[in-house]
Amino acid sequence: MSTTAWMPIPAYLALESRFQRLYRFEHLASIVGWDQAANMPPNGNEARAAAMAELDTLMHAQRTDPALKALLDRAENEPLTPDQRANLREMRRDWRGANALPAALVERRTLATARCEHAWRQQRPANDWASFVENFRPVVQIAREEAMHLADATGLMPYDALMDRFEPGMTSADVERVFGDLKTWLPDLIRTVQARQQAEPPVLQPVGPFPLSQQKALSLAMMQRLGFDFDGGRLDESTHPFSGGVPEDVRLTTRYAVDNLMSSLMGTVHETGHACYEQNLPREWLGQPLARARSYGLHESQSLSFEMQLGAHPGFVAQLVPLMVEHFGAQPAFTVENLTRLATRVEPGLIRVEADEVTYPAHVILRFEIERALIEGAIDVADIPALWDEKMAAYLGRDTRGDYRNGPMQDVHWPSGSFGYFPCYTLGAMYAAQWFATMRRQMPDLDERIAAGDLNPMFDWLKDHIWRQGARWETPELTRRASGEALNPAHFRAHLEGRYLG
């Protein structure tokens, strides 16, 4: 009798087949969702929304099928390989996400967030905080209940349970540790860099117009260089750029403005980072939860590896310049030095999405501190403006009193009830710095090779350590395996100090 005798794993295999089916329906949702953003004419929206809702209902029914629970429990006792066991863990996470909340709460949440977000689109330009609060208060109340239910299902603290949906394995204690470190040096760094940059000669802005067809051609050429596989994806346009589609067919979108070249260019570099992660998820596991991208923070670490670590790297900018000249002709702004300075300008502003990599974490820390206190019941919605003003003054030296529009009303996250998401942005920036620190340790000639136009060492490292790992490990374990240590804010600090004070 063979020692590798076949051991039956019927429950696990039944689960695999259910998740395979779900994956196919997610494919449909993803492609029609992309189409809605990139192609759909206005009068198609009502029928599209109905079709997508019908599909959502179907998938939710599959995820809440009572038979799943027993299958998950039985599969735990089957003789699985380590990958199968990791896949089973991710199946259970998926199941928990769909089953932790009572249907009545989900319905209340849908109604409350839809109402709040819809009204917010008018209230924000009107700077109408008082009216916003009326809709926002029930959203917060429901999020608190949601956090309690998720805490019950996961054994985590309430705010941690919300965050776990986006960054599995990361607790608010971890976040507090790294953000606490940041807070000790970031405000000073911002002031120092600002003073230094103000003493330098002014940066030249590229002068348009930049014809859109040429911007698109440049974006395509750059994506090619960044390793995007055009046999398994494409570039289109949408109002809000995103990386969508499916791993086998990634749909990346960007947005062009005839007078602003850099924003579409860096936007495309950012989205290409997301896209390359998706295109290189473990092929042999596609269709199973194991093959999903690990987390939102990890995803952001890939877009920021491309946009900030690489995109503002003088060696990479040196390759970009000839491409820009080829597409738009020469102009004084198109030098390596000037474009590098343009990509690394630091300016404490009011708006998160417009922030540079040095001030961005301050926006995130502020939101994390406020929303965590809000979910835990330590503060009330009415307390937000005063806290906002206080923290903006402390972290970024800006006076925001009375400006709700460019203050706590600026993001869609809160009106839509997405509490626990904000930390991912800065965790992503910190992971990206840690990946590059590790790469430089392992490949001391990395920067020379980037400067020589050879991006393969970087791609290969990310492929091996991040992309092809999918969701095999929880984030802390993935981080340790990739870099030999837990998330360490020293790397982000070294990156910023090296780039901005070096």
- Active site positions, annotated: 271
How many residues touch a copy of itself under the rule CB under 8 A: the total is: 34
Report if residue 200 touches a copy of itself, rule: CB under 8 A.
no
Of positions 10, 17, 54, 397, contacts a copy of itself by CB under 8 A = 54
Q: In this chain, which stretch among 18-26, 441-449, 476-484, 490-498 interacts with a copy of itself, using CB under 8 A?
A: 18-26
Residue number with CB closer to a copy of itself (51 or 342): 51
Closest alpha carbon to 297 in 161, 167, 411: 167
What is the four-CA torsion angle of 245, 167, 109, 153, rounded to 10 degrees?
A: 120
Residue number with CB closer to a copy of itself (206 or 247): 247
CA dist., res. 142 & res. 116, Å (int)? 12
CA dist., res. 473 & res. 483, Å (int)? 14
Report if residue 46 touches a copy of itself, rule: CB under 8 A.
yes
Of positions 27, 60, 74, 468, contacts a copy of itself by CB under 8 A = 27
- The residue behind tokens 């330098």 is 200
Of positions 10, 17, 39, 177, contacts a copy of itself by CB under 8 A = 39
Report if residue 502 touches a copy of itself, rule: CB under 8 A.
no
Q: CB neighbours of 193 closer than 8 A, spacing ≥ 6? A: 346, 358, 500, 501
Residue number with CB closer to a copy of itself (54 or 354): 54
Q: Residue 363 to residues 192, 312, 348, 349, 377: CA-CA distances in angstroms? A: 18, 21, 10, 9, 22
The pair phi, psi for residue 238, each rounded to 5°, is: -155, 165
The pattern of x and - marking residues 266 through 305 that bind a copy of itself according to CB under 8 A reads: --------------------x-------------------
Q: In this chain, which stretch among 243-251, 258-266, 315-323, 326-334 interacts with a copy of itself, using CB under 8 A?
A: 243-251
Report if residue 220 touches a copy of itself, rule: CB under 8 A.
no
Report if residue 330 touches a copy of itself, rule: CB under 8 A.
no
The answer to whether residues 295 and 423 touch, using CB atoms and an 8 Å cutoff, is no
Residue number with CB closer to a copy of itself (27 or 63): 27
Closest alpha carbon to 99 in 149, 164, 171: 149
CA dist., res. 467 & res. 281, Å (int)? 5
Q: CB neighbours of 188 closer than 8 A, spacing ≥ 6? A: none
Report if residue 25 touches a copy of itself, rule: CB under 8 A.
yes
CA dist., res. 327 & res. 370, Å (int)? 45
Of positions 5, 6, 42, 188, contacts a copy of itself by CB under 8 A = 42
Least Cβ distance, residue 36 to a copy of itself (angstroms): 9
Residue number with CB closer to a copy of itself (243 or 305): 243
- The residue behind tokens 């009375």 is 402
Residues that bind a copy of itself (CB under 8 A): 21, 24-25, 27-28, 31-32, 35, 39-44, 46-48, 50-51, 53-55, 58, 229-234, 245-246, 248-249, 286
